[in-house]
Structure 1
Amino acid sequence: MNRYLVMLFRRPQVDPAVVPLHQQFLEDLRAQGRNEMSGPFGDKSGGAYLLRAESMEQALAIAHSDPAHTSGGWDITLYEWNAR
């Protein structure tokens, strides 16, 4: 599996009620062995997680099912990450 860095940046219209749904989404990914690490940025502008997936297409499909994305409250960008 490949690694993908998923970066999320809050939009002004973020709904605070979505945060627990996003956190549960990350926990579910962790239980599946797909989320290696995750956390918020210190300035509260967003956060990131390290996702394991077979391809960029699969990584996008997973990230786009994140409540942070489906709610429209965060901008999400993915990068294939060749971390060592």
Structure 2
Amino acid sequence: MKYFAVLLPMKDVAKSKEFRPQHLKFLEEMRNTGKVVANGKFTDGSGGLVIYKAESRQACEALVKEDPYVAGSARKYEIFEWDASWANEYEK
């Protein structure tokens, strides 16, 4: 499995407020299935970050596109494969 840091920059503040409950439920489901390792919002209100665990970038992007924030055009996204040094130590 690989780790991916997904930035979710703000696209539409009103839509972000509208889709927030669905987004949080989605993240909870992803954490419960082990597909999301961590998530949080930026304190300046510019967006947030989600750390996904997936087989490939394509698999990660498929999950990201299911996020109500992305599906509802509230947020843009940027995906970066992440070499998580803490995870490498943990998984040895």
Q: Are residues 1:17 and 2:1 paired?
A: no
Structure 2: give runs of 5+ residues left out of the alignment.
86-92
Q: Distance in 2 between matches of 1:65 and 1:55?
A: 16
- For the aligned residue pairs, the C-alpha RMSD in angstroms reads 1.0
Deviation string 1:46-75 (CA, Å, 9 cap, x unpaired) is 000100000011000000111010000101
- TM-score in terms of structure 1 length: 0.94
Which 4+ residue blocks in structure 1 deviate beyond 6 angstroms?
none
Tell me, yes or no, if the aligned pair for 1:14 and 1:72 is still in contact at 8 Å: no
**Alignment pair present for 1:42 and 2:43:** yes
Equivalent residue runs for 1:1-84 within 5 Å: 1-12=1-12, 14-15=14-15, 16-84=17-85
1:31-60 Cα deviation digits (max 9, x unpaired): 001111100001011000100000011000
Give TM-score, length-normalised by structure 2: 0.87
Q: Which has the larger radius of gyration?
A: 2
- Give the helix-richer structure, 1 or 2: 2
Q: Which runs of 5+ in 1 are unaligned?
A: none
Q: Flag the structure with higher strand content.
A: 1
